Amino acid sequence: MEDQQILTALNAHWQASAAGDIHAEHEIYHDDVICDYPQSGERIFGRINLQALRGHHPGKPSGFRVRRMLGKGDTWVTEYTINYQEQLAYTVSIMEFREDKVIHETQYFADPFEAPAWRSQWVEPIDG
């Protein structure tokens, strides 16, 4: 699959996810996808289980914003934020493609934190 085709598929995936379209969101995944959540030590086997897990989330996201996507060939990374009931989660998704579907995804989630004052002379705030 060409990089532009993957980018188009990723854009459709993230738009469907942001819109809450659980069916369109999961079209990007291979039937035998593996999705890892390293921070909680969980692994989800199969598109059906991944879709069911996300469809039963008790705190369904109320919004989300893609910050950037990078990739080439079979490996693509998306940085984005998810709003869970007014609490942001900074998220990184690493997707590995086989042919035209995601066969493996790893997702990392991080809570925001206040920047310490001691660094202020060397940094600038990031918009958003």
Residue 84 covered by a domain: yes
Check residue 128 and give its pLDDT.
54
The model's pLDDT over 53-76, given as tens digits with 9 standing for 90+, comes to 988 887 776 778 899 999 999 999
Q: Find out whether 50 and 119 touch, Cβ atoms under 8 Å.
A: no
Kindly report the CATH number assigned to the domain that includes residue 46: 3.10.450.50
What local confidence, expressed as pLDDT, does residue 66 receive? 94
| 84-118: pLDDT as tens digits | 777 889 999 999 999 899 999 999 999 888 999 99
The structural domain count of the chain equals: 1
Question: What is the pLDDT, as a whole number, of residue 18?
Answer: 86
Q: Which domain holds residue 54?
A: 3-112
Percent of residues, the chain, with pLDDT higher than 90: 71
User: What is the amino acid identity at position 74?
Assistant: D
In the chain, % of residues over pLDDT 70:
98
Tell me how far apart the alpha carbons of residues 20 and 101 are, in angstroms, rounded to a whole number: 20
> What pLDDT sits at residue 56?
87
CA 112 to chain centroid, in Å, comes to: 16
Q: What is the pTM of this model?
A: 0.90
